[in-house]
Each structure stands twice: as C-alpha cells, then as structure tokens.
C-alpha cells in the first residue's frame, strides 16, 4: 500500500476519533446553556487561542508573508496582541453586559435598541452580515486548508481530489460540532492543542535542519532585513486588519460571553499573548524557509517533507503522521469553533432565542442542531462554489476581510458610546444604512477587483476602513453635540 493511501486512512481515523469523542459528550447535554455556554475560564483561553490558529489563512499566510516581507512581519503578531489588548479595554464601555443576556454582541445590541427602539438595524443587520462573512470564511478556510494538505494524500492533486478532501473535513467537523456543542469543541481543542504544541517546535527545528542543508539560515535571516515602500504598505494594511479583526470577530464576541463579566478582560489579554506567540512561531518558519523554483515559500518549506511521502519506511510514516496530525488539528481548532459561534449568534441574535436558558429541553437541543444544519447548507454551497471557481487564496482572503473591516469602527463606536447610553440614540436607521452601504460598496468593488485587478484589493479594504473610521469620529462628535444641546431628552 502506498504511503499516501496510508496517510488518507490516518486522516479518516483522526477525524472519526474526534467525532466519536463528541458523540460521547453529547449524552450529557440537556439545555441550551449546556450546549452553548458550559465552560470555565481556562478552557475558554485554550479554545479561543486554538480558534485563532488557522492553516490556510494562518500558518501558510504567515509563512508566505514573513518570507516576502521579512523581519518586519513580526509586527503583525504584535498588532494581533494589541488588538486583543484594546478589546479588553473596550469592554469597560459596554456597561450592563449581563442585561439582554445571551452573548456579548447581543448585550451591546440590546443597549442600542433600548435607546433607539426595537426596529433598529444595529443588532439584526450587523449579525446577518457577520454570519454571512464568517460562514464564507469558514468555507474558505476548509477550501484553502484542503489545498495545503492534499499533496500528502494525492499525487499531483486534481480539483476533484481536493474537493473530496474539503467535503470530507466539512461534513465530519460540522457533524461533531453540532452534535456535541461547545463542550465537544472545548474537549477536542484541548487534545488538538496538545498535538499542535508538539508539532510546531518539531516543524521549526526540522525546518532549520532542512534549510541548513540547502542554504544558509543566517543568509535567509539577513535577506529578511528589507524595508522598501511596498513592504511598509503591506505591513500597514496587515496591521490594521490584525487590530480591527478582533472587534468584529464572531469568535471573540461569542466565546467571551462564556465567562463572567469580571473575567472577560483577563481572558482576552491571555488569549492575545498566547496567539501572538503562536503567530510569531509561524513567522519564524517564513523567515527561515527557502524559496522553491516557483517562488512559493510554503512549498519550499514543505518540499523536504513531501519527499518522505514516497518512502516506505517507519521514519517516513512518522514524519507524515506528525505533519498531518499537526496541520489537521490546526484546521479543526478553527472550524469547529466557528460552527458553534455562528450557530449561537444565529440562534440568539437572528431568531431571538435564549442560549443561556438552563431549562432542560431535549426537543430544543434537537431544533438547535437542525437550525445549525440548515445554516451550514449555505456554507456547503459556498464551499462548492470555491471548489468550482478556484480563486487565488491570498487575494480572496484579502477580499473577505476588506469588506467586513468597515464594520469594526461601527462596533467600536457603539461600545464607546454605551458608556453613556443616551448617546446611542445617534444610531438612527439612516446612520446605520450608511455603514451598511459602505460595506456593500467595498464588497462589490472588491468582487470586481478579484476578476480584473487583484493587486488593488488590499487598498480597497484600507480605504474603506479609513472612510468608516472617519465617519465614526463624526458620529461620536455629533452624538455628544446633540446631547449637549438637549436633543436627547427622554
């Protein structure tokens, strides 16, 4: 039997093991609270850290970015930590977080609705956009990650084989996440992070060894000291995205609601530090990696390992199993967390249900899983579309973030103004429509650029974010001015 066939069976065994574990946990679920929220602070720190460690949009992105941008790329993990630090400080502006209850974004939406009326577009509109964007991001992460790992399972991977791989991962992860809820995600994340903590140091050390045999590691590091204008602009755009992402991330807004209000800032600070360390390790791989003849840093890094797939000895099997287990665990830690976060936001913010209910209701749990399954039919359609269109991974990722980044200033502005709740009256339908229109306009221009001029996509996101930020400053000043004039009398 060929090494690649054995690798594929190993992948299936790994996926089925996690699925079986989730089904076992599902027996102890009796209420919406036990399905969506039952976790302690330590578990949330581990799981939210794990959710940030993506493969196609994380590890590969950081290796490529660090390889082409050089030592300055280490600014991005620092900005990711800074984004979490700012978010931890931002929480103090969202007073009465427990009121309106379900998840942190629902609490903020509740406060806006109290001041502007129940017909506000804030909570409903932003929730729909974020659910759509993160469902697309989920599909894209599965698609991108499948392309990354497919060479370990197929000779000269074809679109059909990559599609089979992506659909296999999709169905297994969605199945065990919807069956086992947050408990299954957290328990599997602990196992997956243990594997990643072994995989990553081994990958760095063996990559150093492989690179030292083909080129000078010191030479690669010295070549990374580059400071031209294109690199500086790229770093600036990536830094803004790293900070802004934390304010619109469904993972942050949902996971932080699982811990006490008094512990939320502590959790975010710990997650920021841990994520920054892991992403820095990803960047180290990019700095030391050689470039393959096609100019691809990731392929250059993986080339020595790919050679082992043709071997037929114990060392070849061990190397492949280590790489597959590590990369698959990185994939799963993100996908299963997104499944639960998207389902909870959909359940609470769109359907108006209460995920914090302690009432034992097995029928309600069944309806939650059915609703989640229906929601992920959209994800399946998106995944099918991506496998058919085969977009450029790097630019499509920038396209996804380029539109939704316009909502970060909106969410920050709402949280900031909530320190004096009456200021939230500024969020009239017309004010919110302008934000949403900017998101739609940015997304449509980005879609055009995907087909016609991909190099301008990063600039579209940057300009949209700056416009949204300036508009938010105007809204804040206008709200305070109206308050001073007495326009907000109850």
Write the pLDDT tens digit of every residue in 343-394.
888 888 888 888 888 888 878 888 888 888 887 888 888 888 888 878 877 7
Query: pLDDT (tens digit, 9 = 90+) per residue, 464-487?
Result: 899 999 999 999 999 988 877 766
**pLDDT value, residue 291:** 59
Burial class (CB in 10 A: 0-12, 13-18, 19+), 41: middle
Q: What percent of the chain has pLDDT over 90?
A: 12
Q: Where exactly are the structural domains of the chain? A: 3-90+122-390, 394-490
Helix (H) or strand (E) holding 295: none
Closest CA to 57 of 242, 291, 253: 242
User: What whole-number distance in Å separates Cα of residue 390 and Cα of residue 331?
Assistant: 19
* Mean pLDDT value across the chain: 82
More confident residue, 291 or 46: 46
Q: How confident is the model at residue 217 (pLDDT cuts 50, 70, 90)?
A: low
Closest CA to 95 of 261, 267, 266, 260: 261
Closest CA to 251 of 237, 269, 239, 268: 268
Using the predicted structure, report yes or no on whether residue 308 has a pLDDT greater than 50.
Answer: yes
- Give the pLDDT mean for 90-106: 63
Using the predicted structure, report yes or no on whether residue 443 has a pLDDT greater than 50.
Answer: yes
Using the predicted structure, report yes or no on whether residue 98 has a pLDDT greater than 50.
Answer: no
Using the predicted structure, report yes or no on whether residue 36 has a pLDDT greater than 90.
Answer: no
More confident residue, 394 or 440: 440
Closest CA to 134 of 391, 392, 400: 400
User: What whole-number distance in Å separates Cα of residue 220 and Cα of residue 100?
Assistant: 54
Burial class (CB in 10 A: 0-12, 13-18, 19+), 137: buried
């Amino acid at each position: 039997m060929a090494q690649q066939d054995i690798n594929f069976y190993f992948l299936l065994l790994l996926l089925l093991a996690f699925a079986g574990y989730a089904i076992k946990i599902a027996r102890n679920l009796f209420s919406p609270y036990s399905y969506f929220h039952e976790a302690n602070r330590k578990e949330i720190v581990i799981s939210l850290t794990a959710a940030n460690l993506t493969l196609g949009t994380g590890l590969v992105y950081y290796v490529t970015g660090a390889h082409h941008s050089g030592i300055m790329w280490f600014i991005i993990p620092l900005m990711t930590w800074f984004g979490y630090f700012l978010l931890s400080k931002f929480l103090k502006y969202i007073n009465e977080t427990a009121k309106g209850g379900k998840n942190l974004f629902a609490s903020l939406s509740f406060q806006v609705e109290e001041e502007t009326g129940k017909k506000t577009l804030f909570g409903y509109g932003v929730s729909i956009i974020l659910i759509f964007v993160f469902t697309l991001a989920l599909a894209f992460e599965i698609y991108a990650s499948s392309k990354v790992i497919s060479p370990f399972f197929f000779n000269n991977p074809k679109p059909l084989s990559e599609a089979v791989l992506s659909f296999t991962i999709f169905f297994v992860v969605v199945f065990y996440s919807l069956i086992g809820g947050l408990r299954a995600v957290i328990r599997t994340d602990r196992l997956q992070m243990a594997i990643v903590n072994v995989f990553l140091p081994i990958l760095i050390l063996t990559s150093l060894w492989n690179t030292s045999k083909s080129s000078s590691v010191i030479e690669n590091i010295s070549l990374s000291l580059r400071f031209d204008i294109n690199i500086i602009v790229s770093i600036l755009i990536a830094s803004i995205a790293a900070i802004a992402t934390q304010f619109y991330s469904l993972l942050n807004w949902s996971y932080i609601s699982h811990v006490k209000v008094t512990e939320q800032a502590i959790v975010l600070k710990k997650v920021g530090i841990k994520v920054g360390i892991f992403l820095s390790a990803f960047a180290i791989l990019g700095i030391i990696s050689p470039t393959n003849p096609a100019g691809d840093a990731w392929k250059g890094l993986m080339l020595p390992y790919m050679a082992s797939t043709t071997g037929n000895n114990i060392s070849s099997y061990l190397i492949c199993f280590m790489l597959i287990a590590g990369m698959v665990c990185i994939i799963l830690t993100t996908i299963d967390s997104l499944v639960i976060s998207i389902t909870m936001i959909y359940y609470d913010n769109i359907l108006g249900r209460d995920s914090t209910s302690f009432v034992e209701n097995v029928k309600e749990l069944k309806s939650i899983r059915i609703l989640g399954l229906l929601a992920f039919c959209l994800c399946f359609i998106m995944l099918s579309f991506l496998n058919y269109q085969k977009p450029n991974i790097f630019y499509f990722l920038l396209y996804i973030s380029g539109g939704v980044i316009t909502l970060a200033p909106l969410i920050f502005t709402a949280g900031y103004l909530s320190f004096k709740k009456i200021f939230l009256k500024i969020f009239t339908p017309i004010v919110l429509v302008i934000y949403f229109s900017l998101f739609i306009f940015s997304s449509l221009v980005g879609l055009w650029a995907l087909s016609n001029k991909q190099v301008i996509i990063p600039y579209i996101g940057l300009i949209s974010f700056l416009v949204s930020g300036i508009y938010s400053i105007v809204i804040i000043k206008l709200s305070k001015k109206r308050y001073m004039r007495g326009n907000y009398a109850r």
